[in-house]
Amino acid sequence: MNKKKIIIVFSILLIIMISICIKSSKKNIDIYKYTKNNRTFLTDTSVNLIENTNDEIEIYRSIFEIPGEGKKIYMELSVDSIAVWKDSDLSVEMVKIFLNNPPEDDEYYESGIYYSPTDKYIDYDGNIVDSSDETIEYEQGRIKYKTNKICDNWYYFEQAVW
């Protein structure tokens, strides 16, 4: 191999190692603490995403797709995707941030946080659930879903779909 190829291979390996280190450091973030400490930023960003969404559901799968301040969420958390729901028929608006981190409960496959402008629980299908319970948990067909409140307008969720 010539010198140029060695430098290219070394550079690629270095980038991969740095990416792995960054992702593994993000896994140690306490999502409850992060959400409480960054509630204003997360809320402002979510409101902006909802206001600028033309579709009923818009999904951002990478930092390169999401507009504006949403990029900061990708940089600070280990994000798989961000879904923005704006459904005029059901009057449901929500920003759901799916995390790469494993759920706290190993019976679930996905976890994340969501913003609820109405400050009400929202179920798996996007329906508002009016409840004063600390945690909402249910199984319906091939869906298992659990959500609990973190702070004003912000909720943690875990779900399994099979």
What are the per-10-residue average pLDDT scores of the chain (162 residues)? Answer: 78 71 61 96 95 87 90 92 82 90 86 94 85 82 92 94 82
The reply to whether 113 falls in a domain is yes
Count the domains in the chain.
Answer: 1
Tokens of 122: 């929202």
The reply to whether 12 falls in a domain is no
Give the pLDDT of residue 47: 95
114: number of Cβ within 10 Å? 22
The reply to whether 111 falls in a domain is yes
The reply to whether 39 falls in a domain is yes
Give the pLDDT of residue 90: 61
Give the pLDDT of residue 115: 97
Find the domain containing 122 and state its range.
Answer: 29-161
The reply to whether 153 falls in a domain is yes
The reply to whether 17 falls in a domain is no
- pTM of the predicted protein model: 0.80
Helix, strand, coil % (nearest 5) of the chain?
Answer: 30, 35, 35
Give the pLDDT of residue 23: 54
Give the pLDDT of residue 102: 82
Task: List the one residue out of 128, 68, 76 whose CA is nearest residue 97.
Answer: 76
The reply to whether 125 falls in a domain is yes
User: Would you mind telling me the total number of residues written for the chain in this entry?
Assistant: 162
The reply to whether 81 falls in a domain is yes
Q: 16 Cβ partners below 8 Å, 6+ apart?
A: none
Task: Give the gyration radius of the chain's Cα atoms.
Answer: 18
